[in-house]
Amino acid sequence: MTTSRSTRPLSNDRPTRRILRIALALGALGALVAVAIVVVPLLRPPGPRPLFQLPVACGETWQLGTYPGHDDYDVDLFPAEGEAWGRPVLASYAGTVTVAGINGSLGGRTPQDPDGPRGRGGGYWVKIDHGGRWETQYLHLLEPPLVRVGQEVAQGEQIGKLGSTGNSGAPHLHYEQRRGWEKVETHFDGEPSGITTDDREYTVRRTSNNCAGG
């Protein structure tokens, strides 16, 4: 009968090598688990579309528009009536805030100085993760967002005020819905908005049913 490995007497350097081997194996396993935790959720198919509502007050009618060079599916919202500056911007759906800060630079456009220096990018903005790989984002807010990263928000909860920070010509809300890695046509109250291309300038009107009340 031959001696098996386990019964062979161990030389002095063996335990060290064994510990090293175990450490390497554990390290590799840890790396695999880390990759799995990060990558697997990204590969999972997106969940069903949340019942998004217009990101503005219940019952108000707004003009949703786009223009050449905007980007397909991007929506600019202007109130059909009344002052745009400072109007409440509401969460389209419940979720967790993942961004609440400044994109690009703010510039200097305010209600007191609407033609002040134009900023870059989105200005004050908010991004909300709705689960199932669905996200919404809200750009050009007037002031620092009223929510912070990690905060849970309810549908209809106010997240900011409408403004013209960043690369914005006039006070409005730039809004997007995203599924996984891609922007998709915005839907409100279960109905597609019809804003699907930035080949030409066009608008549609919708009335907000964001009436949950936050």
Taking every pair of Cα atoms in the chain, the longest distance, rounded to a whole number of angstroms, is 95
The closest residue (CB) to Zn ion is 174
Instruction: State the minimum distance, in angstroms, from the CB of residue 70 to Zn ion.
Output: 5
- Min dist CB 112 to Zn ion, Å, is 23
For residues 83 and 107, give the distance between their C-alpha atoms in angstroms, rounded to a whole number. 21
Binding residues for Zn ion, how many (CB under 5 A)? 2
| By the rule CB under 5 A, 135 interacts with Zn ion | no
Which residue number, 121 or 144, has a Cβ lying nearer to Zn ion?
Answer: 121
Q: Per CB under 5 A, does 157 bind Zn ion?
A: no
CB of 197 to Zn ion, least distance (A): 14
CB-based contact 150:100 (threshold 8 Å): no
Q: Is 103 in the site for Zn ion (CB under 5 A)?
A: no
- In the complex, minimum distance from the CB of residue 174 to Zn ion, in angstroms, rounded to a whole number: 3
CB of residue 74 to Zn ion, shortest distance in Å: 5
- State yes or no: residue 140 binds Zn ion (CB under 5 A): no
Binder of Zn ion out of 52, 76, 90, 160 (CB under 5 A):
76
Residue 50: CB minimum distance to Zn ion, A? 22
Residue among 14, 33, 13 nearest 25 (CA):
33
Amino acid identity, residue 154? A
Length of the chain: 214
- One of 127, 130, 161, 174 touching Zn ion (CB under 5 A): 174
* Piece of the chain touching Zn ion by CB under 5 A; list 51-59, 112-120, 172-180, 189-197: 172-180
Nearer to Zn ion, 86 or 121 (CB): 121
Give the nearer residue to Zn ion in terms of CB position, either 30 or 169: 169
- Rank residues 130 and 172 by Cβ distance to Zn ion and give the closer one: 172
Residues found near Zn ion in the complex (CB under 5 A): 76, 174
